[in-house]
Structure 1
Amino acid sequence: MKVKIKDTFWNERIDIVRKEVIPYQWEALNDRLPDVEPSHAIKNFRIAAGDESGEFKGMVFQDSDVMKWLEAVAYILEHHPDEELEETADTVIDLLQRAQQDDGYLDTYFIVKEPEMKWKNLRDWHELYCAGHLIEAAVAYFHATGKRKLLDISCRFADKIDDVFGTEANQIQGYPGHQEIELALLRLYETTGEERYLNLSRFFLDERGKEPHYFDKEKEERGEPGPADWDGYFKRYSYQQAHLPIRNQTEAVGHSVRAMYMYTAMADMAAKTEEKELEQACHNLWKNVTTKQMYITGGLGSQEFGESFSFDYDLPNDLCYTETCASIGLVFWANRMLKMDINHQYGDVMERALYNGILSGMDLDGRKFFYVNPLEVWPEAVQARKDKEHVKPVRQPWYACACCPPNLARIIASLNHYIYNVSENEVFVHLYIGSEIDFEVAGQNVTLSQQTNYPWGENVNFEVSLKEKERFTLALRIPAWTSDAALKVNGESVSIEKSIEKGYVYVNRTWSDGDKVELYLPMEIQKMRSHPNLRHNAGKIALQRGPIVYCLEEIDNGPALQNISLKHNTKLRVEPGNDIANDVLVIKAEAEKTDPSDWGDELYSAATREKQPITMMAVPYYTWCNRDPGEMLVWINEK
């Protein structure tokens, strides 16, 4: 299948990635940005290739920034051919080829800095993580351009890894501390058909959590005393989701991005092998994450310590980590879950993360980024308190650990791969994004076009184009946030209630050229409330319209946002917010606010103070901090 996005909302963001983010990140990777910490990533490869001399600099996983940049470029080239950009990418690929060692090994940290430590610290040193990102970039670039050089580089490295790891006497029976290789190998298997890559991914998944723990073994071989689980939080088995075999895991623990990448591989493996035990483990983990440990924005990771999950219903708004990469990983996972099991809950979460937890990670012009995406910001506290120093009141131009910006670029550039799934006689629509998909049914090419003003508009229209009449099923996701959805085919109403299964309405018919489908998804403003066990939000509401979560900003509502309250019967209205961004809708309502000046010098008082009426304005969460910086708040007091 081939999908091209033709959507006002998303094309604007894809164009920003193409015109701003990718060139900007290229400058960052080449250390040409002023007042930004040097990346040194490209220079590391030049040193490894022998093109110049010097020392390795940056994080041990610095190579992955280059790989994610290449992957984003590949997705852009799919639909926006650009000879200059492709030539630049090809020069990078040539550099990687020169840096690759004769046996296929490719990791600049271990080529340049510590060659004697290859495969000696899988727990901490990200060799397999970087290899995974190389593979993902190679697969994407091959599909986009048809060029095999990067794919061949990645296959040579994957073959080397396959020789090194396994259950034979001369092989390493271990697994990575940061998951990534597992999901990448499955993509390589899809592209090449080479079953060794499928089996190698299964090996890494199956070895995880077995006793005695491999991390203890390699630690002993390095001459370090004590088991790995005694080294503090970052060395605990649970931090890397290695505390139990994967099929026995039921609760999300540890580093949230690592968890998302592993769960993605688990779901993909379950879909490919139809293994029921693995499938059930995916369902168990999904339920725990999305019903007990996920923020309303699709954010994951409630604590800065370990960038990790904490425990069920512990979701503080001002201390959370909610790394951009974790929401991106959640989209990866949801997409693989849909391939395993068609259920609207996966599409709903994928949509929630896309429009909120991910888009908030980049400003509207693509030049600054959030690593952490809190749901409440008080700039004075962020500057003064040690436990909030990970929260930034404004987006940053770059990061020393720069995993999020290139990750954002690749997810936005690859969005066309998340809208639809196609099986033999079925096409599933998971996301409502203006687009066109070409697919085959019974040997005949079919084109389905989708037009919509989503996420602001409530109507989604489809048109079918084909030469000869053909029978197939069109399955449309009905989001959980809507009620009274309506469906018409060629102007005639179709009963959703009679045709819905797991949140998808199935329209099975013989289609003719020019057939039209109209889907109406009412977008009422919803006052969202939290589970009673989520104590941080007791007595509070969050505003949501369609897939968009809203927040308050100081620029619109004045300081001390915590003093604003809405009556439970307050009428909410939608108005244009074009001063924020094109076609944005804001929410306004009459509210009340306590005036701190009424208190005088008293810190505590039994007296009742009058609240002042105000007109409150809420903006889409992803747009916050694109004007004057200040306070921000998602959860609002309700009277």
Structure 2
Amino acid sequence: MKKTFYTPIEVGDYKITDNFWKAKLDIVKDKMIPYQWEALNDRIADAAPSHCIHNFKIAAGMEEGAFAGCVFQDSDLAKWLEAVGYILLYKKDEELETIADSVIDIIEKAQQPDGYLDTYYIINGLDKRWTNLTDHHELYCAGHMIEAGIAYYNGTGKEKLLEVVKRLADCIDGTFGPEEGKIHAYPGHEIVEMALVRLYETTGQRRYLKLAQYFIDERGKEPLYFKEEIEKNGRSFYWERSLFQYQYYQAGKPVREQKTAEGHAVRAVYLYSGMASVAKETGDETLTAAVKELWENVTRRQMYITGAIGSSDYGEAFTFDYDLPNDEIYGETCASVGLIFWARRMLEMELKGEYADVIERALYNGCLSGMSQDGTRFFYVNPLEVNPEACRKDQRKSHVAVERQKWFGCACCPPNLARLIASLGNYACAFSENTMAVHLYIGGEIKTPFGNTRLIVDSNFPWEGKVKIKVIGGGGNFNLALRIPGWARGYTVTLNGEPTEGSCREGYLHLRRDWKDEDELTLEFPMRVEKNYANPNVKSDLGRVALTRGPLVYCLEEIDNGKGLTKIGIKEHAGYQLAADGMEAGEVDIITQGTIADDSGWGESLYRFDGPPNLNEIMLKFVPYYLWNNRGTGEMIVWIKDC
């Protein structure tokens, strides 16, 4: 039986117009991209310097100086260019395009005659290139530059950067592989795998797919390349005495033998994204089975309710099943972005609602929390509980920032957010030979592959659960697959005002018919305030609840509820009021009854045996988690006591 695969809609084929996401796209275009350009040029006052553009100018022979910044600093510019490519499909901007073209000229000048491109080694000595794949990120930077070349070509039709990255990929292909005389190795930080698959899809050159497949198949084979490389160079191995060892890089065993997510969380989900891409293109069932098993481990035992992953500051890593501390979490923004990359590629292989549910959960919560409302401040770490004093005085929590930062010395997260939001249409829907699947309900106009048919989506997600989808154009006979969100307790669907039925499979409602011009579907998902309970094995959340409404996770902030948020509980049968005012247009806050432990009569005793503290009744105000810390610094909590 022929397997059905799904192709994401191209970014330019989804014209996003809804109030929520259009506002975010405008922020990316008008605030984030210009701000990040200034940061890359070291022009943000009192912010950590990037050195990125300066490094490229030195490598291009345009300026003098030494390499500065992280060894992978090139990737920040690549991600910025990728975001620019996508945003130019949203709205043309000649000035922005001119800036991008000028920096692409610098990149082209820096590229070596054989296609090699990495400013760290161009500046510090090409004789040392490819000698520290374990830690020096050459292939990681290449992967991001390849993604940038494809996005900029798609956004502008200009081929200069695409030609640069094709030469770079050819250089890598001529260096790595199973053939005699090549290096039999793989990257320390994954991402080039999925980038090479995209380059294959763009150019039709199968050698790029074969190279991606080689990197995945070679990873973790004995003898371990990283171990040999470290010993050959006489370096010490930082992770040798840790529990991670080579699984920090997901390289301690072949990928098909990896049953649980281990090591650095961002590297892991980038690898899993590449595995899914290669599995789809090659039909490798063993690789498909492996990546599905890893998916189940991550999303059912190692993922926070916000879509954050990577619970430990040590190694920015996964730890073990159900270990999800709220105040010591790492939860890097890039890890949630990478989780979305992976989920979309799982959706390409199999139309299953749980993959789109994870995209939605991570997008609205774990990712958006990483940026301020104006797009100029950023979180690297995304906690679910914050006490500013603890972050200042407790080493275990010192990695948790209590307010968003202007920039970072390691600034992977800000441009990652920009490129994700700018390419949002790519995650919202997909198509197969006879099906149009809608994953996310984002208002806008979708160009379908079925003749002249377009879909007009009218949605006020995440604040309201009513969605209208109108068919425009010639129509045609095809299947429309509409996701039923995992959070929805029931739904109603009408066609042209009349109740209609379809078949519901794996979280999607399938409606097959000969669609007519002006046909209009209306979906309604009741958006109830829900108390969420964690698996009893999650010790951090035992006896606690988290409130959600639709796709949004909610939290308490000190500015609304006072200090001592860990003393607060929610009453068992409390009702909920929805408040329309707030920080964001259309924002819905939640007002309910709660209690707070009274310490006023406790005295000087640390402990006592004559009963628990009294509980005083209070009113609680919950705000969307992604908006926390936009009104000043203070305590914040997601999971609160269930009284």
Deviation at 1:483, TM superposition (A): 1.2
Counterparts of 1:168-317 in structure 2 under 5 Å?
168-224=179-235, 231-233=240-242, 236-317=245-326
Deviation at 1:524, TM superposition (A): 0.7
SS at match of 2:281: helix
Tell me which residue corresponds to 2:6. none
Deviation at 1:425, TM superposition (A): 1.6
Deviations 1:46-85 (A, max 9, x none): 0000001100000000000000000011111012100000
Deviations 1:459-514 (A, max 9, x none): 000000123x5100100000111112111111221235xx0000100000000100
Deviation at 1:539, TM superposition (A): 0.3
**Bigger RCO of structures 1 and 2 (CA < 8 A, at least 6 apart):** 2
1:332 equivalent to 2:336? Answer no
Counterparts of 1:234-633 in structure 2 under 5 Å?
236-441=245-450, 444-467=451-474, 469-495=475-501, 499-578=503-582, 580-608=583-611, 609-633=613-637
Tell me which residue corresponds to 1:78. 89
Q: Distance in 2 between matches of 1:198 and 1:248?
A: 22
Asked if structure 2 preserves the Cα contact closer than 8 Å seen for 1:234 and 1:306, the reply is no
Q: Distance in 2 between matches of 1:399 and 1:230?
A: 24
- Which of residues 15, 40, 45 is equivalent to 2:56? 45
Deviations 1:187-220 (A, max 9, x none): 1001000000000000000000101100112123
* Counterpart code for 2:482: L
SS at match of 1:519: strand
Asked if structure 2 preserves the Cα contact closer than 8 Å seen for 1:233 and 1:306, the reply is no
TM-score (norm 2): 0.97
1:132 equivalent to 2:139? Answer no
Asked if structure 1 preserves the Cα contact closer than 8 Å seen for 2:200 and 2:208, the reply is yes
Deviation at 1:224, TM superposition (A): 3.8
Q: Distance in 1 between matches of 2:601 and 2:402?
A: 28
* Counterpart code for 2:224: H
Tell me which residue corresponds to 2:5. none
Deviation at 1:357, TM superposition (A): 0.2
* Counterpart code for 2:607: Y
- Which of residues 151, 158, 169 is equivalent to 2:162? 151
Tell me which residue corresponds to 1:96. 107
Q: Distance in 2 between matches of 1:106 and 1:373?
A: 33
SS at match of 1:55: coil
* Counterpart code for 1:592: T
TM-align CA RMSD: 1.2
- Which of residues 35, 48, 57 is equivalent to 2:68? 57
Asked if structure 1 preserves the Cα contact closer than 8 Å seen for 2:27 and 2:374, the reply is yes
SS at match of 2:453: strand
Q: Distance in 1 between matches of 2:241 and 2:288?
A: 32
Asked if structure 1 preserves the Cα contact closer than 8 Å seen for 2:453 and 2:476, the reply is no
* Counterpart code for 2:89: E
Q: Distance in 1 between matches of 2:462 and 2:520?
A: 21
Percent identity between matched residues is 52
Deviation at 1:611, TM superposition (A): 1.4
Deviation at 1:381, TM superposition (A): 0.5
SS at match of 1:450: strand
Tell me which residue corresponds to 1:7. 18
Matched pairs, number: 631
Q: Distance in 2 between matches of 1:46 and 1:234?
A: 41
Q: 1:483 to 1:313 in 2, by over 3 A?
A: same
Deviation at 1:234, TM superposition (A): 9.1
Deviation at 1:623, TM superposition (A): 0.4
Q: Distance in 2 between matches of 1:577 and 1:606?
A: 44
Q: Distance in 2 between matches of 1:232 and 1:215?
A: 15
Asked if structure 2 preserves the Cα contact closer than 8 Å seen for 1:449 and 1:463, the reply is yes
Asked if structure 1 preserves the Cα contact closer than 8 Å seen for 2:59 and 2:119, the reply is yes
Asked if structure 1 preserves the Cα contact closer than 8 Å seen for 2:371 and 2:377, the reply is yes
Q: Distance in 1 between matches of 2:499 and 2:288?
A: 37
Asked if structure 2 preserves the Cα contact closer than 8 Å seen for 1:575 and 1:585, the reply is yes
Deviation at 1:314, TM superposition (A): 0.3
* Counterpart code for 1:271: K
Question: Structure 1: 5+ residue runs without aligned partners?
Answer: none
Q: Distance in 1 between matches of 2:581 and 2:609?
A: 40
Q: Distance in 2 between matches of 1:406 and 1:232?
A: 33
* Counterpart code for 2:610: A
SS at match of 2:379: coil
Q: Distance in 2 between matches of 1:626 and 1:84?
A: 30
Q: Distance in 2 between matches of 1:223 and 1:304?
A: 28
Asked if structure 2 preserves the Cα contact closer than 8 Å seen for 1:233 and 1:239, the reply is no
Deviations 1:208-258 (A, max 9, x none): 010110011212321347xx5963339721001011111111100000000
Q: Distance in 2 between matches of 1:483 and 1:56?
A: 56
Q: Distance in 2 between matches of 1:546 and 1:607?
A: 43
SS at match of 1:484: coil
Q: Distance in 2 between matches of 1:364 and 1:230?
A: 38
* Counterpart code for 1:360: S
Deviations 1:511-532 (A, max 9, x none): 0100001011111111000001
* Counterpart code for 1:391: V
Deviations 1:6-39 (A, max 9, x none): 1100111111111111111100100111111211
Deviations 1:345-379 (A, max 9, x none): 00000000000000000011111100000000000
Asked if structure 1 preserves the Cα contact closer than 8 Å seen for 2:78 and 2:145, the reply is yes
Q: Distance in 2 between matches of 1:586 and 1:386?
A: 33
SS at match of 2:314: coil
* Counterpart code for 2:29: R
Q: Distance in 1 between matches of 2:124 and 2:435?
A: 52
Asked if structure 2 preserves the Cα contact closer than 8 Å seen for 1:208 and 1:242, the reply is yes
Q: Distance in 2 between matches of 1:624 and 1:374?
A: 11
Q: Distance in 1 between matches of 2:244 and 2:39?
A: 31
SS at match of 2:166: helix
Q: Distance in 2 between matches of 1:42 and 1:404?
A: 18
Asked if structure 2 preserves the Cα contact closer than 8 Å seen for 1:229 and 1:235, the reply is no
Deviation at 1:116, TM superposition (A): 2.3
Q: 1:273 to 1:239 in 2, by over 3 A?
A: same
Deviation at 1:102, TM superposition (A): 0.6
Deviation at 1:613, TM superposition (A): 1.0
SS at match of 1:128: helix
Deviations 1:581-621 (A, max 9, x none): 21111111111111222212111112333211110111000
SS at match of 2:449: strand
Asked if structure 1 preserves the Cα contact closer than 8 Å seen for 2:249 and 2:263, the reply is yes
Question: Structure 2: 5+ residue runs without aligned partners?
Answer: 1-8
